[in-house]
Structure formats: structure tokens, C-alpha cells
Structure 1
């Protein structure tokens, strides 16, 4: 019986640990983007989101304070009716009903600077999905990010509870520059 060299055993152990506890569906940790909720304070955490794989743009600038506006309709599968508050802001939509590309296109047409697409599985607190194109030739240019279902639900719930039309966020956030103060991550999500 052959023995596994010690270094190979360590690498194998670390890989199996990563795959068991960090199921990121093909995404590396460095491929996640982070944003911070500034207000409301009850959800004032750093959240992670996965950029779309083959459509949408990149953040060309950082926004220290920008609104995160829940879309109407929430699934973003038709023209958004709240264009006046979406204009120049980040749009929060929910997965389901149509393709990711259609959701991002509707957010862009309404004037959104980016779109966060929250999983409609509200118990999802660890599985990122690969958002891919739907085969259409017209692709949106704004950044499109996949947000965990529990994170999206908690943000929407906080806004509804406080009767707020939006959250104030900072996006993207460089988490490596936050070492000078505690990194506040959602208590329901394991990083």
C-alpha cells in the first residue's frame, strides 16, 4: 500500500475542507465583491456578492453612499415602475421568473448603476450561483451581482419593518483595507 507524502496529504485535507465548508460553485474567494450597508443600522454589515460570469460591467468607481432600492416588481422581469428613485442607484431584485440578463437589462433601462439579484431561496446562506447569459445578443453593461437569499431577505425585511424605501450602501468595499476596525459580517452567514 502506497503512502501519501505529508505535503500532499495536507493539500488534500485543505482542499476537502474548502469544498465541504466553502461551496462557492466554481468561484474563488477573490472573485466575490463586497458591499457595506450603512443604513439601516440593524443590518449594518459587510455582505458578499458574486459578479455575473459572462455579462454585465465592472465597477469603474466606488460609491461611498448610494441607495440600494428594492425593485417594483420585485422579480425585475418587466419594466420597473419606480424609475424615479432607481435612477443613478443600485437596484435589488429577486431571482426567478426570467433570466438574470433580463433582470439586469430592466435595471439598466430604469437608470440603475448596478443590480443585486438576491436568490429567491431565502434559506440560502452559502451557495452562490453562476449567473450566465441567456443567449440574447443585447447584454446589459451595468454590474450584475448574485446575492445570497438570506442576505436579500434580511435586507428587504429590515426595510419593510422600518417602512424605508431604500438602504444606504457603500459598494464595492475592499475588505482587506478594513483591518483597522472589526469586520462586521452578517451573523447568519459563515465566511
Structure 2
């Protein structure tokens, strides 16, 4: 009986979070992709990101453990350094300086599997932007996702504080199975 009450409370909580999230962002839960940080543990949460609207590919594979590597240069507006580290990984890029398409193209040219573009407004913890094409004819084929600024800042800060070159993530994560795994969202973000 206690398990039924607990599950009912969890479902009620999730529905409330979803309704509040939908009102705040204008996006539905099915329009987002989720990933989980495995390491470092201090930011071991499930994060949400919005896929690009009219460019980039879909995840054709699920990665239980893949590196999330901060880009160098951070804005991703020129050729990536340390291509051997980025090759086959997910790359974290900061918004600003050039178009979303250019950033994704530079990551793809460096061999990245996907790009997470974090908003440069570090206090943004609720507003997703629509990443749209810049009109160029050559569009990247890797998945491109928009990450809230607060999430990106907290990930970068944790990596810098611990002098780590990358985080280990699982992507994509199926949130419809949340009841079977710990519901652990970033405490600074309401979703």
C-alpha cells in the first residue's frame, strides 16, 4: 500500500513539473532530449536540452558512457583545437559569436558525435531558444541541442573546479522510465 501511495505521489509530482515546465518554456516533454551526467558526481543530474529545429541529425545510437568535452575555443566559432580529444565525443559549446549552424559544423569537422550549445546567459534556467538554420547550404548532420545557460555554466564550473577535461554522460536518457531510476534533476532548474 505504501508503494502505491509513493508511486501516486511521484506521478502527481511529475505531472505538476511537466505542466509548470510547459507553461514556462512553451516546449513539451516530447520536444526535449535528456542526458545524465555520470561523472563528476557533484553534478550527477538528469539535464534537458532542446534539439535544433531545422538542422542537425537525430541520435541513432544510445551512449551509456561518452565524454562531454568543453570546446576550445569555447564559442565554437573557429576550427576546434584538440581534435583527437573531441573525436567521437559530445562537445559542449557556448552560445554567441557565430550561428548555431557554424558551431555544429565546426564540431562535426572535428569528429564530434553531437554538440550541446549552452546559452551564454548564465542565469537562464528556464527559457529554451529555437536553434534554426542560418541559411547556409551546408548543414551539419550531427545532433545539435540547446542547453540552458545555468546548466552549461554549472557543468563548466564543476569541470574547472576539479581540473577535469570532460564529464562522462549517458545520452539520450528515456525519461518515460524515470520511475525506475532516481529522479535527480539539477536543484537550480525547475522542469
CA gap 1:54/1:43 in 2 versus in 1, 3 angstroms: same
Tell me which stretches of 4 or more aligned residues in structure 1 moved more than 4 Å.
18-21
TM-score (norm 1): 0.88
RMSD of aligned Cα (Å): 1.5
Q: Distance in 2 between the 1:20 and 1:47 partners?
A: 13
8 Å contact from structure 2 (residues 21, 190) kept in 1: no
Q: Which residue of 2 aligns with 1:66?
A: 66
TM-score (norm 2): 0.88
Q: Which residue of 2 aligns with 1:41?
A: 41
Q: Which residue of 2 aligns with 1:24?
A: 25
Q: Which residue of 1 aligns with 2:165?
A: 165
8 Å contact from structure 1 (residues 69, 91) kept in 2: yes
Q: Which residue of 2 aligns with 1:125?
A: 125
Cα deviation, 1:126-145, whole Å, max 9, x if unaligned, reads: 00000000000000000000
Return the offset for 1:36: 0.1
Look up the SS of the partner of 1:154 in the other structure: helix
Q: Note the residue ranges of structure 2 that are not aligned, 5 or more in a row.
A: 1-18
The number of aligned residues is 174
Structure with bigger gyration radius: 1
8 Å contact from structure 2 (residues 22, 28) kept in 1: no
Look up the SS of the partner of 1:177 in the other structure: helix
More divergent stretch after superposition (169-178 vs 62-71): 169-178
Look up the SS of the partner of 1:179 in the other structure: helix
Cα deviation, 1:85-124, whole Å, max 9, x if unaligned, reads: 0000000000000000000000000000000000000000
The equivalences for 1:103-114 within 5 A come to 103-114=103-114
Q: Note the residue ranges of structure 1 that are not aligned, 5 or more in a row.
A: 1-17
8 Å contact from structure 1 (residues 55, 139) kept in 2: yes
Query: Is 1:99 the counterpart of 2:110 in the alignment?
Result: no
Return the offset for 1:177: 1.4
Cα deviation, 1:62-89, whole Å, max 9, x if unaligned, reads: 0000000000000000000121100000
